[in-house]
Chains A and B, each alone.
Chain A
Amino acid sequence: MSTEALSPAPLLHVSQLSKAFRGVQALHDYTLTLQPRTLLGVIGPNGAGKTTLFNLLTGVVSPDRGRILFNGQDITGASPDAIVRAGIARTFQNIRLFRRMSVLDNVKVALQSTQPFRLAEAVLRLPRFVAQEQALEERAKALLAMLELEPYAAMPADSLPYGLQRRLEIAMALATNPKLLLLDEPAAGMNPTEANALMHLIARLRDELKLTIILIEHNMRVVMGICERVQVLNYGEIIAEGTPEAIQNDTRVLRAYLGTVHSEPNHARA
Chain B
Amino acid sequence: MNHRIGWLIAGLVLALAGASQFLLNDYYQRVLSVIAINIILAVSLNLTNGISGDFSLGHAAFMAIGAYTSAVLTLPVRMKAIVLPDLPVWLGQLEVPFVFALVLGALLAALIAALVGTPVLRLRGHYLSVATLGLMVIVQVVALNWQPVTRGARGINGLPPFTTPLWAYGAMLLTVGIIWRVVHSPLGRAMIAVREDELGAACRGVRVFRTRLAAFIIGAAFASIAGGLWAHLITAITPASFSFLLTFNVVAMVVIGGMGSISGSVAGAVLLTLLPELLRRVETSLALGGQPLYGLSQVVIALLMLGVMIFRPGGLFGREELPAVLARFQRRRSAQRQAPHPSPSS
Chain A positions near chain B (C-beta within 8 angstroms): 58, 60, 79-81, 84-85, 89-90, 92, 96-101, 105, 108-110, 112-115, 117, 119, 122-123, 125, 129, 133, 136, 172-173, 175-176
Contact = CB atoms under 8 A, between A and B. Distances in A.
Given A110-B205, A122-B185, 5 more contacts: A81-B206, A99-B196, A122-B186, A133-B186, A173-B204
B186 to A, nearest CB: 4
A105 B206 contact: no
A110 to B, nearest CB: 4
B187 A117 contact: yes
Contacts of B201: 98, 109
B197 A123 contact: no
29 contacts: A79-B202, A80-B203, A81-B203, A81-B205, A81-B206, A84-B205, A89-B203, A90-B203, A92-B200, A96-B199, A98-B192, A98-B196, A99-B196, A99-B197, A100-B196, A100-B319, A105-B192, A109-B201, A110-B204, A110-B205, A113-B204, A119-B214, A122-B187, A123-B178, A123-B181, A123-B185, A125-B181, A172-B204, A173-B204
Contact of B202 (A81, A112, A123): A81
Given A117-B186, A119-B182, A122-B186, A101 B193 contact: yes
A108 B201 CA distance: 11
B47 to A, nearest CB: 13
Contact of B200 (A96, A108, A114): A96
Nearest to B190: A109
Contacts of B102: none
Contacts of A89: 203-204
B196 A101 contact: yes
A133 B185 CA distance: 8
B187 A96 contact: no
Nearest to B185: A122
B186 A98 contact: no
A125 B205 CA distance: 24
B189 interface: yes
B182 A85 contact: no
A98 B201 CA distance: 8
Contact of A81 (B181, B186, B207): B207
A175 B186 CA distance: 14
A207 B203 CA distance: 24
